[in-house]
Amino acid sequence: MSLFLPRTLLAVGLLLTMNLPAQRAPAPALKVCDRAHTAANVRYPLQAASTAWFHVRLVEPGVYAIIEPYQFEEVISWLIVGSQRALLFDSGLGMMPIKPVVMQLTSLPVTVINSHTHFDHVGGNADFADVRAMSTPFTNARMAGYSHADVASEVSPAALCGNRPAGLDTTSFRSRPWSAAERIVDGTRFDLGARSLEVIATPGHTPDAISLLDRANGLLWTGDSFYAGPIWLFMPETDLDAYQRSMDRLAALVPSLRRVLPAHNVVSVAPAVLARVPKAIRDVRTGRARGTVPKPGQRLVPFKGFSILVAAKAVRAKR
């Protein structure tokens, strides 16, 4: 993945909030990549487990957003804690270790699953013994890690928003190999004790993309299938037909949802915004909504609360 376009072009103000007590850590000194996103996230209490690289915010009881706001991807990993176990949904960029943060938040056994296997969501996988993964050729190939050449642009001065965190060697950084203890499929359930989570296969952004549903609490984690910003749907592994079907499936859940919890930018988006995505992607593909050309071969189409970035060839020519 390279620096095609920052995910930080658009912010969403449609956030649901809770005023929850928590210990607050001193504000890290580095410069965040997007002030608007940070201002939206500050509504959620900053936890003492926060570090100079990670902002940890309590979104609901037992639901922690672990944000990396100093790299342009603004990745959000999610720790979901039950009474008996915990689940880490994505493990971040891998530029700084996420496991010590997780261990400060819970002493329970932790299972890791990934919203998909792009490098910015699997960076800490190698540090955990219990990683579960989809069984697709795309997943299997990416378990070998990403070379420095693959990710060098992600640690450039521009990508780090002018910051270079202590301990990060930008000349040799790579995403480490990892392995899966077990495989998961559409419908796999995780019983954490007093909380049950269900895997929903949502291919499109990648062949192995999944979302995570907590039906009892009305929570949906969407990974990179949906977030407040330019949704990247221009890569070779993207399948827009599959994405359309996946978004139709997620939109059908909206009446039962309280929060949508993405993997980039802002931690909580109103479900009503997600409900608009199926029509938006149809309008993009048919050429009804055409947007602009941010660089040759791409088209960026804005909508209320998000935008869609596709390969220009995916947009039907205007008649």
Beta strands in the chain (DSSP E): 55-60, 63-68, 75-81, 86-89, 110-113, 132-134, 182-184, 189-191, 196-201, 210-214, 219-223, 230-233, 259-262, 298-303, 306-311
Residue 256, amino acid: S
**Per-residue pLDDT at 298 exceeds 90:** yes
Could you give the CA distance from residue 143 to residue 159 in angstroms, rounded to a whole number? 24
Residue 96: per-residue pLDDT: 97
Task: Say whether pLDDT at 319 is over 80.
Answer: no
The answer to whether the CB of 53 falls within 8 A of the CB of 93 is no
Q: pLDDT by residue (tens digit) across 265-284?
A: 999 999 999 999 999 999 99
Around 255, how many Cα atoms within 13 Å sit in the side-chain half-sphere? 1
CA distance 216 to 59: 16
Decide if pLDDT at 20 tops 60: no
Chain centroid offset of residue 300 CA: 20
Q: Give the pLDDT score at 13.
A: 33
pLDDT 10s digits, 48-80? 999 999 999 999 999 999 999 999 999 999 999
Q: How many CA atoms lie within 13 A of 167 on its CB side?
A: 6
CA distances from 260 to 94, 179, 252 (A): 24, 29, 13
pLDDT per residue as tens digits for the range 160-171: 998 888 899 999
Collapse the DSSP code of 299 into the 3-class scheme (helix H, G, I; strand E, B; otherwise coil) and give the result: strand
Q: Rounded to two decimals, what is the model's pTM?
A: 0.91
- Determine the average pLDDT of the residues in 12-19: 31
219 vs 270: CA distance, rounded Å = 11
